[in-house]
């Protein structure tokens, strides 16, 4: 199954993510965002930086945006991309995870923010999950 795809959007990058379950969906979203930031790092197995992230939000949609936002913040502070997430707890509106990443000299794309614009998380008929996220670049 496709993990994610990128859609056309005027000044931004729009990503559609898929997953078998919510956990899978969140993991794929993390990878997708890393791909926008630095494509070559996604397959990198040497992920030397680990950061814990714990977030509570209003609902699953805002949780996904807030989670990606928190990763982006770390990415900007550390000059690193984080393509992998180890999820410890995930509920409807809370997540506890550890993100793994590595330093970069420069990003392919400098994501300014993860936006709530048109955010959507839905369950598809074949019991898979799908979400759409818009990045401000």
Binding residues vs another protein (CB under 8 A): 6, 8-13, 57-58, 62, 66, 69, 73, 76-77, 79, 104-110, 112-117, 119, 134, 136-137
Given the complex with another protein, which of 1 and 77 has the nearer CB atom?
Answer: 77
Please report how close the Cβ of residue 41 comes to another protein at its closest, in angstroms. 12
Given the complex with another protein, which of 67 and 129 has the nearer CB atom?
Answer: 67
Please report how close the Cβ of residue 45 comes to another protein at its closest, in angstroms. 21
Given the complex with another protein, which of 12 and 24 has the nearer CB atom?
Answer: 12
Please report how close the Cβ of residue 127 comes to another protein at its closest, in angstroms. 27
Given the complex with another protein, which of 21 and 52 has the nearer CB atom?
Answer: 52
> Buried b / exposed e across 32-45, counting CB within 10 Å, b at 16+?
bbbbbbbeebeebe
Ramachandran region, residue 36 (left: φ > 0; alpha: ψ -120 to 50; beta: rest): alpha
d(CA 34, CA 108): 10
> Buried b / exposed e across 55-80, counting CB within 10 Å, b at 16+?
bebeebbbbbbbbbbbbbebbeeeeb
Please report how close the Cβ of residue 43 comes to another protein at its closest, in angstroms. 19
């Amino acid at each position: 199954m496709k993990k994610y795809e990128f859609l056309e959007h005027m000044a931004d990058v729009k990503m559609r993510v898929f997953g078998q379950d919510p956990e899978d969906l969140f993991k794929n979203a993390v990878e997708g965002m890393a791909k926008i930031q630095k494509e070559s790092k996604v397959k990198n197995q040497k992920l030397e930086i680990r950061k814990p992230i714990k977030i509570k939000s209003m609902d699953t949609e805002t949780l996904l945006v807030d989670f990606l936002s928190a990763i982006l913040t770390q990415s900007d502070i550390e000059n690193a991309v984080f393509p992998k997430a180890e999820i410890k707890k995930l509920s409807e509106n809370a997540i506890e995870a550890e993100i793994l990443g590595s330093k970069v000299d420069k990003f392919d794309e400098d994501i300014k923010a993860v936006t709530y614009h048109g955010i959507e998380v839905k369950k598809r008929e074949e019991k898979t999950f799908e979400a759409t996220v818009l990045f401000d670049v």
